Amino acid sequence: MKMPRPVDAPRPSLRDARPILVRVGSALAVALGFLWITSRVDPGQSRASAPETPPALDSAHAATPAASMGVLEGRQLLVNLVATPEGPRYTVLDRAGAMLAERLTREELYQSFPDLRMDTIISGPLMLAPFDR
């Protein structure tokens, strides 16, 4: 059962609803403006690019580009990590790109380059990603 309104109570008017209507109208205008702007802007497509690698890395491992796990750059040497069925292999180049050693195991790397300690250089897991050229 609905209670009758007291006689001395003020009647609701449009003035009471005006602030709410202004807020709702403003929010609607902002939303419609955003939708209109996003319909006009086309970000386009871009391709990610890999950093430049020395030419020796590209030609030395052209047969298995998908197996490359990355290049570690030091002050004097570059070390390319390659995944093989037998485990990781390391190719060492100088800063000019001349190949010093190719597809070494970890033990061979330690014997040939005692200053390179792969267990202290690598931090975290490495991921294999498809190579697209």
Query: DSSP letter at 24?
Result: H
Q: Residue 123 is encoded by which pair of tokens? A: 């931090």
Q: How far is CA 132 from CA 48, 67, 128, in A?
A: 11, 12, 12
Q: In a structure prediction context, what are the per-residue pLDDT tens digits for the chain, which is 133 residues long?
A: 677 777 777 776 777 788 888 999 999 999 999 999 988 887 776 666 666 655 555 554 444 444 678 888 877 888 888 888 888 888 898 888 889 998 898 889 888 888 877 766 654 455 555 555 5
Task: Record the pTM.
Answer: 0.43
Measured CA to CA, the distance from residue 40 to residue 85 in angstroms comes to 51
- The answer to whether residues 130 and 66 touch, using CB atoms and an 8 Å cutoff, is yes
